[in-house]
Amino acid sequence: MTNLDSIVSLCKRRGFIFPGSDVYGGFAGTWDFGPLGVMLKKNIIDTWWNYWVEKRDDIYGVDADIIMNPRTWLASGHTATFADPLVECKACHGRFRADKLASGLNEHVTNDEFSRLNIKCPTCGSNAWGDIRMFNMMFKTHVGPVDGDESLAYLRPETAQGIFVNYKNIVDSCYPDIPFGIAQQGKAFRNEISPRDFILRDRECNQMEIEYFVHPDTWETEFDQLLKETDIFLEKEMGLPVEKINHIEVAAEDRAHYSKRTVDFMFNYPNGEEELMGLAYRTDFDLKNIERESGKSMAYRDKVTGETFVPHVIEPSIGVERLFLAVLSNSWDEEKGILRLPDNLAPYKFCVSPLLKNKPELVDKAREVYKLLKDKYTFVTWDDSGNIGKRYKKQDEIGTPKCVVIDFDTLEDDTVTVRNRDTSEQIRIKPEEL
């Protein structure tokens, strides 16, 4: 199976992902997306938005601010509970998440449980540890010209609360029938104690979340339906095989404080099975908290029955970077050097090349074909570097499904050679038929 180092190498070599602030020696937990990475990420995001929002009549989009009124995080519980167990090695002063230093531990690990395992520091090998303490992962900032308690704010740790604070705005402006959803995609920030595993656990990420508002009596039916639709999205739109995805019913003691049921979608990454996304039943936790903190009603009045109630919520939540890595690692054939991306996600759909770049008649015709395809498909690249074999190798590595080559036969019959990335088979066809 492909290892994570191979993926990291491919990403830097071909311009998908670079270490953040690389020229200055990097910055832990940050990553910069290069030209191809930006295109692949955009295709993933656009496909998600198209599947969940544009093709449906019951889900509405919002784009809320990253910095929100700090009362948002007080009401949601993040100020008090958004924390991980931190433990420090007394010998080397390295700091780690206690629950990640041994199998079988969770975020509620106690000092007694931790000490009984005689865990050694992964940096220096010592087993002299300080007490475990909870570390809040929200990034703090200050709004306005004066730093102080009154100016304190946070970078949002999730996009969900931007949806909840706009719930009433959507109800009052769009008059949706229940059930309905609100979707948002955007940046989230988490001050991870020990970022690791490439882009799986970083400090700045993109999230794609839906809050689906339902009648309290129908949440189970709606939950099952969203689970099925998520499976279809991952398999059909992202190209992820079902055998690499495992549904885990999360136990009550391991669920987030707001959840009454959570299913984690686990994916078989190169470094092992990790969480890809989650589907959570949040009940009326968030809307009730907003009612309490704001003093404003979050009730919904059913248009048909006239019943008034505070809706319950089901949340499909996925990190773009986790999905990006799942798509990339599933597509990468390290042995053959081919990135078999789904056609709908590939950064480029076609690469156009003249067989020889020193033959003006071939170059001119290739430019004509390039413009034809560029106008038609947009995501088309040009390559005339090296010999044709090297061009094929490069395009295979960046996931381009088809290479279009203009040769001397093109000048005679106006057909081009089209090479298939996955099979290496070649056919001749007229450019306008592509």
Residue 89 per-residue DSSP state: B
Write down the architecture of domain 4-68+143-333 according to CATH. 2-Layer Sandwich (3.30)
The model's pTM is 0.90
Q: At what angle do helices 35-49 and 320-331 cross, to 10 degrees?
A: 110
- Nearest alpha carbon to residue 163 among 313, 56, 57, 291: 313
CATH number of 350-433: 3.40.50.800
Q: Which residues pair with 266 in a beta bridge?
A: 246, 275
Q: Tell me which long-range contacts 155-158 makes (C-beta under 8 A, separation of at least 24).
A: 155/66, 155/67, 155/189, 156/66, 156/67, 156/68, 156/187, 156/188, 156/189, 157/73, 157/78, 157/82, 157/188, 157/189, 157/190, 158/78, 158/188, 158/207, 158/209, 158/317
Q: Tell me which long-range contacts 258-264 makes (C-beta under 8 A, separation of at least 24).
A: 258/76, 258/77, 258/282, 258/283, 258/285, 258/286, 261/223, 263/227
Residue 258: pLDDT above 90? Answer: no
Please state which of the ranges 104-118, 258-272, 304-318 shows the lowest mean pLDDT.
104-118
> pLDDT confidence of 82, banded at 50, 70, 90?
confident
CATH 3.40.50.800 domain range(s) in the chain:
350-433
> pLDDT confidence of 59, banded at 50, 70, 90?
very high
Question: Considering the chain, what is the average pLDDT of its residues?
Answer: 94
**Mean predicted confidence (pLDDT) in 287-308:** 95
Report which of residues 91 and 256 the model is more confident about.
Answer: 91
pLDDT at 273: 93
pLDDT at 235: 97
The span from the CA of 373 to the CA of 205, in Å, is 34
- Provide the phi-psi class of 295: left if phi over 0, else alpha when psi is between -120 and 50, else beta: left
**Mean predicted confidence (pLDDT) in 271-297:** 95
The 10s digit of each residue's pLDDT in 216-245 is: 999 999 999 999 999 999 999 999 999 999
Is the distance from CB of 273 to CB of 243 less than 8 angstroms?
A: no
- Nearest alpha carbon to residue 196 among 12, 31, 327: 31
The 10s digit of each residue's pLDDT in 131-145 is: 988 888 899 999 998
Residue 36: pLDDT above 80? Answer: yes
> Both tokens of residue 102?
């041994």
Q: How far from 408 is each of 73, 318, 411, CA to CA, in Å? A: 66, 49, 5
The span from the CA of 17 to the CA of 395, in Å, is 17
pLDDT at 196: 83
CATH 3.30.930.10 domain range(s) in the chain:
4-68+143-333
pLDDT at 1: 57
